Chain A
């Protein structure tokens, strides 16, 4: 990766440095401590008995045989535990009349998705609990599954939750005309239809259902034997989990301690509050013993929340000279059977990103959330913004084709130019900084855009078996969730601030406590670099503490690329307070006035003299407290809570060269170049890692991954044999680079990078695949663009009819082929 950055300020020695991550030596040599590694003495183990059916009435549950199984202490239904009335929280009621079903800890009368828990077994070992689970006999009366969003909204559709009277969760609308942030889309469309010099392009795009597929399965241990109940959990959100446990079960918040130890990835998949976590709390209270639950990979694929799953109907209007005039967005978003913690708001997060980097005068966004009998959906890396970016970047390509324009030229014509920042968009967001020209020019040069276009022409002319396509994505995203007042205006059930504390230890070491909860991002390293610069102490002297509500009592955790742009700034604010306090003591000890002190490189010096003291000496003096100013406490320790005033807006230009074998339909990513502007780069190595991993996930949506259900609502992709995650062998080396226009909304100039690669890459890949085939008459290939789909698209364009593809059938072959999709947990029959 290459980094183009501003000349660092003289005090900056750590920020910008490509340090290897300080946490990695421990993690990669196995000295890790994940939740499942934690087993307090006397721990009992919980196993969840799950429904194999998507929609059914539970007619009987017979636990007698399971209760006789060796090592079993109890087998419980919701009624047995007295938790039938308990519902898990949804913190984002997007409209006042939103329909929200109770989301139970265990299904009582009706199961609403395949994989929903019906009973739990508690035993002395995980194996005993698993064995006994096979002995729990549950009878079901099948009900009709609800699988298709459009059918679910039709008159007379089977209702997932009959008491709600509808399968519609809510419809949320943003209209720039009504909001006063722009003009009316309806008028723009009417005007374009009436104007021979304008064009209207409509397309439908499908966002397939994805599974976050974090490496470490979900797990929790609840120990009730202390004065507080301690919950260890594989979670991104220990603070939210604590509060929500109180909301859900009524345990006083002060009696709960939540610890997120090492957490092996999340990607949004671990921001939930889980029925299993609450069940472990209930069972720990009931038995008085620690209770542990760790899911299997198959349970994770089946029952952990999924992501994406939208139908996108997009209408764009433009002048024939290419100037865009309006964008109308209609979404259907599949909620699944229940509402996750922020599930209904995920598509809404995309509402403000459909206009992307373009100067649309009018935009309307209408999203209807729909209940189906599938696993619930919630945040997955990007959460709403990848869906928006995909739709706008795909339709910009479609518009370019309709107008006969080069797709990059069309984008350039419509984007916000560097001189126009700060720019208030059609949805009312103010983009503070950016330079789309710089990122694009650099990316196109590295990519050899002109050379590849030439090769593409040659291959088309010669009718080469391998056709070349060029895919473009010039994306932006809103990062750093979020200004609390903005979240309030969107009816989000929490603020968006972050907390930090800095403790100056007697020996000069520094403890940084953050409310962000890292799970693989490199917080320890990046935050240490920031504090080392702020306080002028050695990087090695900084210790970052997080993920334990006793250590870090206040925080709003990690999601939405917020750790650095919100949590990092809170740390800066706390450090500034430490310096202010230290300066007072330094002035006192140096017998100088504060105005005469300079602070640089960790040293307070009296201007014009060689007298000085280091901040670490001051920390010791504060600890001794023998001699300090009358009007202050003898401590440098400081807290800060930072609430951002704006989002940050990273952007970038991503280019993909796609090779498509027109005989087999096989798609190969030959070359990928991206130039991202993530503001100030704290650690180039971590930025590169985040971009790299993000690209792999976004490319995987375009090429590899899809969660599919059969016509009975059973998850077909129930193992990693069927849910095809790519590995390193499936991806080329990425050519990533960074340009930096620092954010003006925060003192570090940072913008966030955790989701950039995922958001940007998916449309680049699909645009490239279709670009390779456009001259053959192919206009669309649904994601993932598998070889079979590409081959069928080519055949269809030639006028050849081909067989219907079964999406839900296992052949007996291919390793685990004997898995019966109607028996996803593999009960021995």
Chain B
């Protein structure tokens, strides 16, 4: 498993990284935690000429409060996301989902920004970022820009990031006091999601006042289950509401068919798991 030859730089500031990436041209790739890129390189599915390793840039790590948002540096590891108190309190759904990513070794190396930039529709964190209406901060030669989650995920492994841009930060609104659950279904504990459902609910006096629902691996990108959300709002946090809303789970999806699950089975799973996720979150 030997990758093709490439050059490697490890800048220590974001500006240096942007410059290196820009100078590297179209054959430069960004190395985050390496949990997706390195296997691709070793299998020679890609042969970039330059790797820009973001591991040396301190400003890309860490979780902080920023006004009404919680900002997570792109190079923050899943492990740190799982164990961060601020996120637990204000963005608990992200902590839930990050805890299900692969295995402890991967969670210690893999990063939130890397996973989102890679944009694998079977990845767990895209559906969470989409459902929670996160903002993505991108840095390029022309400066920084902020992209809404709805604009970030474009297709399989394709995002709004330009070739010379880096994801620097993901900013989440506060969901303080919301109930949440990430329901994941896979073949083995370390496997990618066959289907998964991310749910956050605001429950006031036993009634769901707001809902955020995202689906993993039900299309070419993470999917916001708006139909489910609409069906939940104003309803009691009950089993009946969960079941009724879950019937809307496949609206707007285009489930892939593969050896693990053909589309009809995935759709069935999406409905079942949505009901369970809502119930667990509400419970």
Q: A residues bordering B, Cβ < 8 Å?
A: 126-127, 130-131, 134, 296-298, 663-664, 666, 704, 708, 716, 719, 721-722, 724-727, 729-730, 786-788, 791-792, 802-819, 825-828
Contact, CB under 8 Å: B192 / A814: yes
Question: What 0/1 readout, one digit per residue, does chain B (177-209) give for beta carbons within 8 Å of chain A?
Answer: 000000001011111101000000000000000
Q: Find chain B residues with CB under 8 A from A126 CB.
A: 2
A817 to B122, CA, bound (A): 9
Contact, CB under 8 Å: B122 / A819: no
Q: Which of A297, A725, A813 contacts B121 (CB 8 A)?
A: A813
Contact, CB under 8 Å: A814 / B45: no
Contact, CB under 8 Å: B217 / A298: no
Q: Which of B1, B120, B189 contacts A813 (CB 8 A)?
A: B120
Q: Find chain A residues with CB under 8 A from B7 CB.
A: none
- Once A664-B185, A808-B259 are accepted as A-B contacts, the answer to whether A815 and B192 lie under 8 Å apart by CB is yes
Q: How many of chain B's residues touch chain A, expressed as a range?
A: 35 or more
Contact, CB under 8 Å: A298 / B47: no
Contact, CB under 8 Å: B36 / A806: no
Query: Once A and B bind, how many residue pairs between them come within 8 Å at the CB atom?
Result: 131
Contact, CB under 8 Å: B259 / A809: yes
Q: Which of A716, A806, A825 contacts B262 (CB 8 A)?
A: A806
Contact, CB under 8 Å: A826 / B103: no
Tell me the dominant secondary structure on chain A's binding face: loop
Q: Which of B36, B44, B156 contacts A815 (CB 8 A)?
A: B36
A730 to B189, CA, bound (A): 6
Interface status of B58 (Cβ within 8 A of chain A)? no
Q: Which of B39, B47, B187 contacts A816 (CB 8 A)?
A: B39
Interface status of B62 (Cβ within 8 A of chain A)? no
State the 3 A-B residue pairs at the shortest beta-carbon distance, nearest first: A729-B189, A811-B256, A813-B122
Binds A, one of B16-24, B139-147, B265-273: B265-273
19 inter-chain pairs at a CB distance below 8 angstroms, sorted by A residue, are A126-B2, A127-B5, A134-B44, A298-B43, A663-B272, A666-B185, A727-B190, A729-B103, A729-B190, A792-B265, A803-B262, A803-B264, A803-B265, A805-B262, A805-B265, A814-B122, A814-B191, A814-B258, A828-B47
Contact, CB under 8 Å: A787 / B187: yes
Q: Nearest Cβ distance between residue B120 and chain A, in whole angstroms?
A: 5
Question: What 0/1 readout, one digit per residue, does chain B (220-261) give for beta carbons within 8 Å of chain A?
Answer: 100000000000000000000000000000000000111111
Interface status of B162 (Cβ within 8 A of chain A)? no
Contact, CB under 8 Å: A788 / B260: yes
Contact, CB under 8 Å: A788 / B262: yes
Q: Find chain B residues with CB under 8 A from A792 CB.
A: 265
A78 to B59, CA, bound (A): 56
A130 to B3, CA, bound (A): 9
Q: Find chain A residues with CB under 8 A from B268 CB.
A: 791
A126 to B42, CA, bound (A): 13
Mark out the residues of chain B between 38 and 79 whose CB falls within 8 Å of any chain A CB in the assembled complex: 39-40, 43-47
Contact, CB under 8 Å: B192 / A818: no
Contact, CB under 8 Å: A804 / B262: yes
Contact, CB under 8 Å: B259 / A664: no
Contact, CB under 8 Å: B264 / A704: no
Give the nearest-CB partner of A700 in chain B.
Answer: B188
Q: Nearest Cβ distance between residue A238 and chain B, in whole angstroms?
A: 26
Contact, CB under 8 Å: A816 / B43: yes
- Once A729-B103, A813-B156, A817-B122 are accepted as A-B contacts, the answer to whether A716 and B259 lie under 8 Å apart by CB is yes
Q: Find chain B residues with CB under 8 A from A726 CB.
A: 188
A814 to B40, CA, bound (A): 12
- Once A127-B2, A664-B185, A727-B103 are accepted as A-B contacts, the answer to whether A708 and B259 lie under 8 Å apart by CB is yes
